Structure 1
């Protein structure tokens, strides 16, 4: 095994500026001319993957950044390296395992091998990106009960959660698929009601149980284009579901902090609303084009910005009404009407404090930003109307 070839190729290509194509070609030529270096090159890739984990990245994060900055061939390469590294990794949480499972499903069809020089070039481009990834906040993937033997109660709760989330997913899928705005509104509303019940039931169970886990954090991709409006939408959904979101614009994701059951519904609702917004935007844009308009980019930017703004307003109103309902329930208990929800207020308050503390410890320095490029009045109007059709109403009273 000739490691010196790999070392020379790395020295030439990996640390040169990204626009230095001559250095990349030189490194690729060295690797292409020495087949005995292949095993060492692959081993170095596995080491680079492990290095990204030590810097706070997770499998989905790495694949997402590779997909954004490079090409399909690089995405296949990184997926294969992650799966190769996994058996040698330490124990991780269930969300990490789910990310690996999705990669394994997508890796069924192996890419055809190109010529040695082209392959070496792609490998060096991928390794150069991995080397330059910055350190991210630690999501503490092992802090979610990994390795603890499940109890009968926790197993029952997991089964119940799975059924509830399956119902929510089914409702949102129907809302995305229907061509009737009123039906989409009713389905989204019912989904949000189930999300509210899911979150409150979990909060009460956690409050009654011994100890219980604290808030954790997930990263959710916020992809181009129009990523600023998408980040605003995710922030609105997170806030309405007892979570906090922090957007990392350069790396194309938001970190959402909250309790795990709330994070589940945030990801579900955000994804569904984004699908509904895109569908509505495409229809509205087609109508605008039929009328002779051609400013597609400004229309879309303004549409999504208005959609995010309007959804945020409605979700905030729903959250306020839910708090008022909880206060009424507490007052009724004080008057002698014993209700299980009577203990809801202190439990939710303590969870809110825990989420805020976790977020501030992870992100001690954050800034706010304003939406840019919102200049199309027609796009804003149509986006607001679409958000009204995807309305998420206030949560029904939980008796």
Structure 2
């Protein structure tokens, strides 16, 4: 006699298929709790058993993803991206339930991600989980069941991704780390404060000064860390982070990630089908990339909106203009950030001596590249195409106001695609 788990299995298979009517019929069976259509009549699976089984299946699907490289923030991001904000919140509930079932030590960075998602158990028992979630969302049971099945179908079909950190309970995987939250560094605290000022000011010259000072501090901090780690008993190793590159203009956002990463001794690979770029580098550099990218994306978006208002024809939005603007902004920012890093390298080399600093930097660059080649052996490169001259010119001008005033080497091509 088909039970709740059989009803769920049939519904997931139907949702993943191409027959829309069959998917609706299988979802209806979950609503009414009947086994009609599964080959046995008069078999029932009431709401409590269906809800408990659904939560169990979601948790099991999540646990299968962890050894395949996925992390809590990755799951929440892709569910929201592909299914919408409400299913994304349902996935967050499932993440909280999964954490409650994890045994053994759980790394702090894992709990930091869950805390950032506000993932916590909000229901009294698993049998009432979905009803509680539907009440919080202000929706009905049919919608809640449909969301849960669609989330489960998505989770069961996700491909493996690069394992950036060992999951809870994992062993034998990469041991490299990445940033796991506030570093406690006074330098990075000052960087955050400077970037916040750059985002909030309406005066381009002030934004330029704040962002320029932030990159200067970041570059010095990175060099200091490199020298310290060179003589440490247990030095840092290259790790990775994933940064969202959702539509619209995902390619331009990925280019901005790549340019910021390159200026901070990191490598970037864009997985456009999954909506993120993977950045590989040493922990302090990865945190710097996240801070800078977030701030510069805010500044680029604000400048783009101003550019729309100032262009011929008023505030009319065109895709070609926006893409050209953001591509030019990323290219110019990359030039300026690399110029700041090169200057910091020059000064540090003079202070520490080339025999001390240059071998350290070369070794770290080699370690990052080796990690890149291991995780992404099949990376390809693509060239960007610009179709709006006005947007390109406006984006370049905006980048001049957002960062440093020095020139630098030519821009890099669009980041690698997987």
TM-score tier by shorter-chain length is 0.7 to 0.9
Change (3 A) 1:292 1:166: closer
Q: Which of 83, 87, 98 in structure 1 is aligned with 2:96? A: 83
Is 1:384 matched with 2:396? Answer: yes
Is 1:127 matched with 2:141? Answer: no
Query: Shift in Å at residue 198 of structure 1?
Result: 1.5
Partners of 1:77 and 1:316 lie apart in 2 by: 42
Query: Shift in Å at residue 326 of structure 1?
Result: 4.3
Q: Is the 2:164–2:176 Cα contact (8 Å) retained in structure 1?
A: no
Q: Is the 2:208–2:401 Cα contact (8 Å) retained in structure 1?
A: yes
Query: Shift in Å at residue 113 of structure 1?
Result: 5.2
1:197 equivalent in structure 2: 220
Q: Is the 1:307–1:387 Cα contact (8 Å) retained in structure 2?
A: yes
Structure 2: unaligned runs, 5 residues or longer: 33-45, 123-131, 168-174, 408-418
User: Pairwise CA RMSD of aligned residues?
Assistant: 2.6
Q: Deviations over 1:271-323 (max 9, x none)?
A: 1011000011111101126x457352221111001111111222333344444
Pairing 1:156-235 to 2, within 5 Å after superposition: 161-235=184-258
Pairing 1:33-182 to 2, within 5 Å after superposition: 33=32, 34-35=46-47, 36-89=49-102, 91-104=105-118, 111-112=136-137, 114-141=139-166, 143=175, 161-182=184-205
Q: Is the 1:76–1:107 Cα contact (8 Å) retained in structure 2?
A: no
Pairing 1:7-18 to 2, within 5 Å after superposition: 7-14=6-13, 16-17=15-16
Size of the aligned set, in residue pairs, is 372
Q: Deviations over 1:157-184 (max 9, x none)?
A: x997432222111110100000000000
Partners of 2:346 and 2:143 lie apart in 1 by: 63
1:281 equivalent in structure 2: 304
Alignment partner of 1:214: what SS? coil
Pairing 1:299-314 to 2, within 5 Å after superposition: 299-314=321-336
Query: Shift in Å at residue 368 of structure 1?
Result: 0.2
Query: Shift in Å at residue 97 of structure 1?
Result: 2.2
Change (3 A) 1:48 1:159: closer
Q: Is the 1:13–1:23 Cα contact (8 Å) retained in structure 2?
A: no
Q: TM-score, normalised to structure 1's length? A: 0.86
Alignment partner of 1:371: what SS? coil
Query: Shift in Å at residue 74 of structure 1?
Result: 0.3
Change (3 A) 1:160 1:81: closer
1:339 equivalent in structure 2: none
Is 1:298 matched with 2:311? Answer: no
Q: Which of 290, 313, 337 in structure 2 is aligned with 1:267? A: 290
Partners of 1:64 and 1:217 lie apart in 2 by: 17
Partners of 1:161 and 1:392 lie apart in 2 by: 27
Partners of 1:145 and 1:129 lie apart in 2 by: 28
Partners of 2:121 and 2:332 lie apart in 1 by: 40
Query: Shift in Å at residue 8 of structure 1?
Result: 3.1
Q: Is the 1:319–1:394 Cα contact (8 Å) retained in structure 2?
A: no
Q: Is the 1:113–1:119 Cα contact (8 Å) retained in structure 2?
A: no
Is 1:349 matched with 2:371? Answer: no
Change (3 A) 1:112 1:325: closer
1:28 equivalent in structure 2: 27
Query: Shift in Å at residue 116 of structure 1?
Result: 2.3
Is 1:364 matched with 2:386? Answer: no
Q: TM-score, normalised to structure 2's length? A: 0.82
Partners of 1:278 and 1:106 lie apart in 2 by: 33
Partners of 2:401 and 2:120 lie apart in 1 by: 35
Question: Greater helix share, 1 or 2?
Answer: 1
Query: Shift in Å at residue 103 of structure 1?
Result: 1.5
1:5 equivalent in structure 2: 4
Query: Shift in Å at residue 85 of structure 1?
Result: 0.5
Alignment partner of 1:14: what SS? helix
Q: Is the 2:96–2:119 Cα contact (8 Å) retained in structure 1?
A: no
Change (3 A) 1:107 1:192: farther
